[in-house]
Structure 1
């Protein structure tokens, strides 16, 4: 599903469920657990089935966000996006996430990040939030697809988005 002229689409994803098996690991280095890998693959299949194909991916440098993107990208997506690993997205505030998004160059962007910032950022974007009771909590692997009637990401303003979809792949956190 391509984005029409004068529109931009954001696919905003919280990383999938991570493993806590090794307490000696730094938070930045935690991998996904089995459920997280399954959820991320399921999310990739869901995105492909709806034609939500990012042309640019803005991803935190944390291992769990990178693994989430890798599992999503394993789905039969037709587009090969530009990938930007962004250190500043690691536990980013909503304001930092907005700044990174404003630097995007492609019409359809996927951003993969962390709570609590991503939940706050997601809540600021649409004019009307999804009715899903878990939207404000933004559980692991939750994904919001939101469209904006703008020509350039520099023009994005919170509260101007239209929700296209919201999914929680495994319905748990």
Structure 2
């Protein structure tokens, strides 16, 4: 049963160049530094996840690379195209499907984009409205053991990290 959900917004990406597709924007130098720093925080603060789900966008994949460089131990990430440009409903569906596929899942990391990730925070913990999720920002949520993990108010933000 899911006990902890870490949501992380990708680190800062470069602005689009010419006709470059949004999904193909790489991290900026600052973004790489911030993602590495977030990785150090995750490594030192959070237990190893049982699963990592990540958008297919280049900037989220490069964010994951920096987390690994910082020493985060994690299973092979699952790249989910629905996380890119996802609504709250899309993200809750992705989380639910992952939980249903693996009921013993306790710790899940979700790496994606705003506004969807902030909407997940607001949905799961009403107090989250006090937080904005900047590039490379993350929140660690503790899931109420008596709640369905995707129900409104099912979690409490335990800690956050912002660059």
CA distance in 2, matches of 1:166, 1:155: 19
Alpha-carbon contact 1:7-1:149 (below 8 Å) kept = no
Post-superposition Cα deviations, 1:40-71, rounded to whole Å, max 9, x if no partner, equal 00000001111342221110000001111111
CA distance in 1, matches of 2:25, 2:60: 10
Q: In the TM superposition, what is the alpha-carbon distance from 1:150 to its structure 2 partner?
A: 3.6
CA distance in 1, matches of 2:61, 2:30: 16
Alpha-carbon contact 2:2-2:108 (below 8 Å) kept = no
1:3 is aligned to: none
Specify every segment of 5 or more residues in structure 1 that has no aligned partner in the other structure, as ranges: 1-5
Alpha-carbon contact 1:148-1:156 (below 8 Å) kept = no
Structure in which a larger fraction of residues adopt helix? 2
2:162 to 154, 162, 168: 168
Moved more, 157-166 or 88-97: 157-166
Aligned residues: 158
Q: In the TM superposition, what is the alpha-carbon distance from 1:156 to its structure 2 partner?
A: 3.0
RMSD over aligned Cα atoms: 2.1
TM-score with structure 2 length normalisation?
A: 0.87
User: Would you identify which runs of 4 or more consecutive aligned residues in structure 1 move more than 4 Å?
Assistant: none
TM-score with structure 1 length normalisation?
A: 0.83
